[in-house]
Amino acid sequence: MLEERGKQLEQDLTEQELPEEEVSEQEHLEQRLSVEEASQAIPAWVARIRQKVDEGGRPIRLMEICGTHTVAIARSGLRGLLRGAVEMVSGPGCPVCVTADAEIDQMMAYCDLPGAIVTTYGDLLRVPGSRGSLADRRAAGADVRVVYSALDAVALAQSNPDRPVIFLGVGFETTAPAAALAIKAAAEAGLKNFYVHSAHKMTPPAIRALLADDGSGRALQLDGFICPGHVSTILGEQGFTFLPAEYGLPGAIAGFEPLDILLAVDYLVDAALGRRPVELLNGYTRWVRPEGNRKALALIDQTFTPSAGLWRGLGTIPDSGLALRPELARFDAAAAFPASLLPPPPRRGCRCGDVLRGVIRPPECALFGRACNPQRPLGPCMVSSEGACAAYHRYGDGEENLA
């Protein structure tokens, strides 16, 4: 699944060029850089960045906060190519990974409701809470179904009017609109058996929490942020202008091709070294508008209200979650089916929380590759297709990419 998606992403900018004489206007717009052109550009660009860092006299430390960037950077080999000059740190960009055990336990409790159909995105299926995963519950007889779209869950509710259908909404600002559209569709259809458990979270509050001094004086030492490309299609450039404005840190909204990431790294290195002004660069203008997606933002506003969010690794962050608005309480799974559960025990040895905060790299967790691996994952960072541990395990740490 990941391979297919990876190939799809790579096709975006690197398909073969069409021969000139057969190119219509429409096809002209689809011309891409050839794979050969792009491949040649990467080492040269990396060399120029390394030279700048050399002249600047100190290594640069950048964080990305988007699961898709985690994978793209790992797959591209850029981490290894830039090692020693630019350190690429992974932050809390994987929405499944940052969903805390207590919340996963709460979501799994819906499986016990008589007749319930619990619908989920595929990525959440194997994530272990403190008492197993949704996949385990399904194997034990619960009706757990993977859906591609939240709207598919609404369709299930329509065709099963006597059964409660609960949709587990996990994601950031990119994904919240989908749940909002589902609720809108359910409201328009007058459904009485459709519920959403909203575990949606917002990205900027997590970044602020990372940058806040935790009192021990060890605020994360970062020179800049690679800002999430798809979250930014919703939030727009204004979503991350707080970085330069309030923290004096440069940010670069980036796409997911190697060249897109290098564009972002190049700017952030320049800004960190004082060669360019510190600001928010939009390097993904083909999809990200300055104002974002106004319809999506309005829909989020009509459907959700900021609430306290519980983040694995970061604890409770005020106004970082998206809860259903009171007038939509009839669709709120947590309100309709409250469960009082024992708080989950802490995970012994699992350092997903530290990985998510960028405090350690996955290989620095003692369980990495040994007790915790893709076949037998212990923590969400290894289970999720966008988890840092899964990305490191699959694509390596970058050391072996150096020729």
Partner 1 sequence: MCLAVPARVIEIDGSRAVVDVMGNRLKADLRLVDARPGQYVLLHAGIAIEVLDDDEAKATLEAYRQVMGDA
Interface contacts to partner 1, rule CB under 8 A: 5, 7-9, 11-13, 26, 29, 31-33, 37-38, 40-41, 44-45, 67-68, 94-96, 121-124, 148-152, 170-171, 174-175, 177-178, 181, 230, 233-234, 259, 263, 285-289, 293, 295-296, 299, 384-386
Least distance between partner 1 and beta carbon 172 (Å): 9
Least distance to partner 1 from the beta carbon of 384, Å?
7
User: Which residue number, 28 or 192, has a Cβ lying nearer to partner 1?
Assistant: 28
**194, β-bridge pairs:** 165
Quote the CA–CA distance of 61 and 89 in Å, as a whole number: 7
Query: In whole angstroms, how close is the CB of 148 to partner 1 at the nearest point?
Result: 6
Of the candidates 295, 213, 197, 288, the one whose C-alpha atom is nearest the C-alpha of residue 251 is 288
The Cα-based distances of 225 to 69, 203, 352, 360 in angstroms read 12, 12, 20, 17
Nearer to partner 1, 11 or 16 (CB): 11
Q: Decide whether 76 or 222 has the Cβ nearer to partner 1.
A: 76
- Give whichever of 113 and 263 is closer to partner 1, judged by the CB atom: 263
CA 162 to chain CA centroid, Å, is: 35
CB count within 10 Å of CB 315 equals 11
Nearer to partner 1, 93 or 113 (CB): 93
What is the C-alpha separation between 167 and 173, in angstroms, rounded?
Answer: 17
Nearer Cβ to partner 1, position 153 or 314? 153
Nearest distance in Å: CB 323, partner 1: 20
Residue 62 CB, shortest distance to partner 1, in Å, is 19
Whole-number minimum distance, CB 284 to partner 1, in Å? 8
Q: Is 42 exposed, middle or buried (0-12, 13-18, 19+ CB in 10 A)?
A: middle
What CA dihedral angle connects 160, 166, 168 and 174, to 10 degrees? 60
Integer CA distances (angstroms), 134 to 178, 333, 374, in order:
21, 16, 17
Q: Which is nearer to partner 1, 82 or 249 (CB)?
A: 82
Q: Which is nearer to partner 1, 214 or 287 (CB)?
A: 287
Let me know: does 282 contact 262? Beta carbons within 8 Å: no
CB of 176 to partner 1, least distance (A): 11
**Rounded least distance, CB 2 to partner 1, Å:** 9
**Measured between alpha carbons, how far is 228 from 256 in angstroms, rounded to an integer?**
9
Q: What distance in Å separates the CA atoms of residue 232 and residue 238, rounded to the nearest whole number?
A: 9
Least gap, CB of 366 to partner 1 (angstroms): 27
3-state DSSP call for residue 233? helix
CB-nearer residue toward partner 1: 46 or 278: 46
* Half-sphere exposure (Cβ direction) of 36: Cα atoms closer than 13 Å: 2
Instruction: For residues 170 and 146, give the distance between their C-alpha atoms in angstroms, rounded to a whole number.
Output: 13
C-beta of residue 237 within 8 angstroms of C-beta of residue 288: yes
